[in-house]
């Protein structure tokens, strides 16, 4: 059983810094020693004429160990390198007081980004120097923010009825971080060479790549109120990617990620079966039809369903405290559901729950976040029930009277702590088996008196609306014919209320967000109505001569 130490101050034992309560005993490593020593010096010595003193400091260190091996058509890429290790640092300062500070404001001179440095030395002295350098620059920016924020509040005659930051209990959680050793790479190199060789004799494939990736991330967090955590996260993937031109000359890419439960030894038989199935699907896409304009039922398979939920639900319940800004009157990143508590925002066929305290699901790692990036204990949130929005993620920045954080502040390179979700579970009230779901899909399609409807397997992650795996499903007999060139740009949050059925095949889908990793755990979802438009993609010029 994995060992870890957890210390939760649920009764407020580490709230204001002047409460005189003992700080938690930190792990004895260079990361916490460097953060603690530099934080103490910052609070005692960092001063500037005509600028408020720091009243709050938070440091976050992220140590990433990454290994990738790639093979194409049976040969390893020469660029496949040895493991890479990198240490990054983020610094957050609060100046003034919790009643009135510089945060929650976006200047026309600076984005709402904390100070950071990437690839810093992985040593006590190197970390101290990096934190000192970032903190010095951050203090200069914070002072400018403070002046501009006070001027903005005077200009808009904003009342000071609420503090900028509310008190909250602090927590410390320290998971054991063991020495990380990589597997026998000869076995994996042999496996990916063998799998990638399966594309060698397929004349229509221009390139077929198999990649083995391990990413180990250790996060160390400490703030001046006593909030702290140390959490490792390891994820292992096998990625398949095929590039080809379909029969009409359109350049296509098929991709799939096989999430591995571990990396000690490859299960060659299972991986071969999944690779063969991937290539069969890719061969069908070679003969795909170009999509036409469509309005009607759509069946989202788990990957596409996760992308749909991520875009239309998760983003709309995050960043719910709008930033003040002299750049724009409206915060373009603030969630659209921020004023919709109690309103129906999704079908009552499913409930949505955020579970930051869950470590894994179906043997796959989740983003375990027992303490948020303000040091507050995280809480599971029942976001919706009966289709209505019941609660929002909250930080220490108040949304109104009697505000209390529920531990959902996340901070990364591109944002100070803001309201965020971690592991979003979509729970069907009456999950249908695969057979029942397909029968319901065809039934709804016939009710619309359509010749065929669409099944979407995945969006294009880079665009968020273009589809790279889809099928026409004929209403009469359920026959599936591949399609390409679909655009879902007319899919909006209102479509969440069109979910009429859900499967029993929940999968963990990972997302890399501005604040770090998150997951959506979701089954197939059937929408009664969605609009699909043909993309404007044009055929590509073929190579002058064929692949050797």
Residue 419 token pair? 């309201």
How does DSSP classify residue 109? S
Q: Is 285 helix (H, G, I), strand (E, B) or coil?
A: helix
pTM: 0.93
Give pLDDT, residue 21: 57
Give pLDDT, residue 80: 57
| pLDDT tens-digit readout, 370-416 | 999 999 999 999 999 999 999 999 999 998 888 899 999 999 999 99
Q: Is 38 helix (H, G, I), strand (E, B) or coil?
A: helix
How does DSSP classify residue 313? I
DSSP string, 440-501: HHHHHHHHTT-SEEEEEEEE-TTTSSEEEEEEEEETTT--EEEEE-EE-TT--GGGGGGEEE
Averaged pLDDT in 10-residue chunks for the chain of 548 residues: 41 37 85 98 95 97 94 87 88 96 88 94 98 97 94 91 94 93 88 96 93 95 98 94 88 88 86 96 88 94 95 96 89 93 98 97 94 98 98 94 93 94 98 98 97 90 62 95 88 95 96 82 97 83 78
How far apart, in whole angstroms, are the C-alpha atoms of residue 507 and residue 364? 9
Give pLDDT, residue 7: 45
Give pLDDT, residue 357: 98
Provide, for the chain, the percentages of residues in helix, strand and coil under a 3-state DSSP scheme, each rounded to the nearest 5: 20, 35, 45
How far apart, in whole angstroms, are the C-alpha atoms of residue 12 and residue 182? 41
Give the H or E element holding residue 316.
helix 315-317
Residue 477 token pair? 């007999």
Q: Which residues contact 283 (CB under 8 A, 6 or more apart)?
A: 202, 204
How does DSSP classify residue 503? B
Give pLDDT, residue 16: 38
Give pLDDT, residue 81: 63
Give pLDDT, residue 465: 54
Give pLDDT, residue 247: 84
Q: What are the φ/ψ torsions at residue 438 (nearest 5 degrees)?
A: -65, -40
Q: Which residues contact 37 (CB under 8 A, 6 or more apart)?
A: 128
Rg (CA), the chain: 25
Give pLDDT, residue 286: 86
Q: How far is CA 241 from CA 73, 88, 196, 212, in A?
A: 11, 30, 10, 12
Give pLDDT, residue 86: 95
Q: Is 189 helix (H, G, I), strand (E, B) or coil?
A: helix
How far apart, in whole angstroms, are the C-alpha atoms of residue 259 and residue 540? 32
Give pLDDT, residue 344: 98
């Amino acid at each position: 059983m994995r060992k870890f130490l957890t210390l939760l101050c649920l009764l407020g034992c580490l709230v204001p810094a002047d409460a005189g309560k003992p700080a938690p005993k930190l792990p004895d490593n260079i990361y916490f020693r460097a953060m603690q020593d530099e934080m103490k010096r910052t609070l005692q010595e960092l001063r500037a004429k005509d600028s408020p003193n720091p009243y709050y400091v938070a440091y976050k260190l992220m140590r990433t160990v990454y290994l990738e091996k790639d093979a194409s058509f049976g040969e390893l890429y020469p660029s496949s390198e040895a493991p890479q290790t990198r240490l990054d640092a983020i610094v957050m300062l609060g100046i003034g007081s919790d009643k009135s500070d510089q945060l929650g404001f976006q200047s026309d001179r600076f984005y709402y980004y904390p100070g950071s440095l990437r690839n810093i030395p992985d040593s006590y002295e190197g970390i101290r120097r990096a934190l000192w350098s970032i903190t010095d620059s951050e203090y200069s920016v914070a002072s400018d923010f403070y002046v501009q924020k006070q001027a903005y509040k005077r200009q808009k005659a904003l009342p000071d009825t609420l503090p900028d930051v509310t008190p909250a209990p602090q927590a410390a959680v320290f998971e054991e971080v063991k020495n990380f050793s990589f597997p026998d790479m000869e076995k994996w190199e042999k496996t990916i060479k063998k799998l990638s060789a399966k594309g060698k004799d397929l004349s229509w494939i221009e390139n077929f790549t198999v990649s083995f990736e391990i990413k180990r991330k250790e996060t160390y967090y400490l703030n001046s109120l006593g909030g702290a955590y140390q959490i490792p996260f390891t994820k292992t993937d096998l990625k398949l990617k095929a590039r080809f031109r379909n029969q009409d000359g359109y350049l296509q890419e098929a991709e799939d990620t096989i999430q591995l439960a571990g990396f000690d030894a490859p299960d060659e038989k299972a991986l071969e079966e999944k690779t063969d199935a991937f290539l069969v699907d890719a061969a069908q896409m070679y003969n795909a039809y170009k999509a036409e304009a469509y309005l009607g039922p759509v069946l989202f398979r788990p990957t596409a369903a996760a992308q749909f939920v991520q875009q239309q639900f998760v983003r709309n319940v995050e960043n719910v405290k709008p930033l003040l800004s002299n750049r724009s009157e409206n915060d373009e990143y603030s969630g659209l559901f921020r004023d919709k508590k109690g309103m129906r925002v999704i079908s009552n066929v499913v409930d949505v729950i955020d579970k930051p305290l869950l470590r894994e699901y179906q043997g796959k790692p989740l983003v375990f976040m027992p303490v948020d990036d303000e040091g507050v204990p995280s809480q599971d949130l029942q976001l919706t029930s009966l289709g209505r929005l019941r609660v929002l993620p909250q930080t220490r920045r108040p949304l109104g009277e009697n505000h209390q954080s529920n531990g959902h502040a996340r901070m990364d390179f591109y944002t100070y702590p803001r309201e965020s979700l971690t592991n979003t579970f979509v729970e069907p009230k009456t999950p249908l088996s695969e057979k029942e779901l397909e029968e319901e899909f065809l039934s709804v399609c016939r009710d619309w008196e359509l010749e065929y409807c669409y099944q979407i397997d995945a969006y294009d992650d880079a665009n968020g609306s273009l589809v790279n795996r889809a099928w026409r499903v004929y209403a009469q007999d359920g026959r599936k014919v591949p399609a390409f060139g679909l655009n879902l740009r007319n899919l909006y949050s209102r479509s969440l209320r069109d979910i009429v059925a859900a499967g029993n095949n929940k999968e963990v889908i990972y997302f890399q967000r501005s604040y770090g990793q998150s997951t959506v755990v979701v089954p197939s979802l059937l929408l009664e109505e969605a609009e699909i438009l043909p993309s404007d993609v044009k055929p590509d010029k073929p190579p002058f001569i064929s692949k050797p």
